Amino acid sequence: MSDLPAVGTLAVGVDVGGTHVKGGLVDDGGAILATRVRPTPGRTTPAVEVEGVIAGLVADLLGLAATRGAEVVAVGVGAAGFVDARRGTVVFAPHLAWRDEPLQRRLAGRLGRPVLVDNDAHAAAWAEHRFGAGRGESHLVVLTLGTGIGGAILVDGRLQRGRHGLAGEFGHQQLVPDGRRCPCGNRGCWEQYASAGVLARTAREVVLAGGEHAAGLTRACGGDPDAFRGEHVTQAAQEGDPAAREILADVGRWLGTGLAGVVAALDPGTVVVGGGASLAGELLLGPARETLARRLVGRGHRPIPTVVAAALGASAGLVGAADLARTAAHDRPGEPRG
């Protein structure tokens, strides 16, 4: 890593996902100067232990900045789940044991710096609006396809959090009545049909079923279906494996089906698709666009929004969390901006 910039320009961003906790030192232009990654503790891990993982990762980055003579002005955390950003509380996290968790207050006490906590999809959307594929769009919807589906809405450059700060949980809209069980407790949620987690689960099922068509996916996971991750499916598809391409197309069609409802409700000009699954590019987004165009109410008589891959990839969440925290620390300490 090269020399860090002048004091006052850095913030730490943390993205707490269902699989990994990722953190980075981010400058005021959205560039990531250093990163750290830890495994996300399991769903039954006590909240205090999860906070310890986050605090340890941040402390490592703070120490790194200090050795280079740079000061970190704030810490931003994007958490997967329902977040009351005004109070810095994680109300409900489907993939963690957080229930009404005062994460902002506890982390600030551990770290001795201003901390902002927001929904991870809000953080990713802010990054794409500020630095990525959503720049210049007045009405923007951002989806993050990771373990589940997160979402966020921006209108005229401001995040729309809803009356209680819980807007954008598109992944838990019911797409299939009495469908697959979701960790949130309901059935048929969109994220059970269109997410990086679905890519891995479906590929695992194909490998376990065996047969000639599973050969490429078997090689992709090294012969261990339990080791499958979404990126293994993407890589196999990009190398031409027909089974992997079929899985991505299926997930893309489910993505487009859910998008038809989102677009009908919100009428965005652009939809940015980020998160791990978006790295598949047109193998995923092509079928999604086709299905959206076929299922959108009023099709043929209304504009269809542009659907594009996120420019910042899997780093959008931590970049956005850092920028939101920096902005709040400079303008109105303790309050989320955007």
* Residue 338: C-alpha distances to residues 96, 164, 183, 229, 324 (Å): 26, 16, 30, 33, 7
pTM value is 0.85
Separation CA 71–CA 223 (nearest Å)? 46
* Residue 135: C-alpha distances to residues 77, 288, 311, 317 (Å): 22, 22, 10, 16
DSSP three-state, residue 240: coil
DSSP three-state, residue 41: coil
Are 10-125+316-331 and 136-310 the same fold in CATH?
A: yes
pLDDT confidence of residue 240: 93
pLDDT confidence of residue 179: 96
Residue 219, both tokens: 């090689």
Phi, psi of 239 (to 5 degrees): -85, 0
pLDDT confidence of residue 10: 93
Domain topology for 10-125+316-331: Nucleotidyltransferase; domain 5 (3.30.420)
Domain ranges of the chain: 10-125+316-331, 136-310
Phi-psi region of 156 (alpha: psi -120 to 50; beta: other; left: phi over 0): left
pLDDT confidence of residue 333: 44
State the architecture of 136-310 in CATH terms: 2-Layer Sandwich (3.30)
pLDDT tens track of the chain, all 338 residues? 455 555 457 999 999 977 789 999 999 999 999 999 999 888 888 888 899 999 999 999 999 999 888 889 999 999 888 888 888 999 988 778 889 999 999 999 999 999 999 988 899 999 999 999 999 999 999 998 888 898 999 999 899 988 877 888 899 999 999 999 998 889 999 999 999 889 989 999 988 888 888 888 888 878 788 888 888 899 899 999 999 999 999 999 999 999 999 999 999 999 999 987 888 999 999 999 999 999 999 999 999 999 999 999 888 999 999 999 999 987 754 445 56
pLDDT confidence of residue 70: 87
Phi, psi of 100 (to 5 degrees): 50, 45
Q: Which long-range contacts (CB under 8 A, 24 or more apart) does 169-177 make?
A: 169/82, 170/143, 170/258, 170/262, 171/195, 172/94, 173/258, 173/261, 175/254, 175/257, 175/258
> Do 190 and 173 touch, CB atoms closer than 8 A?
yes
Which has the closest alpha carbon to 264: 110, 117, 141, 132?
141
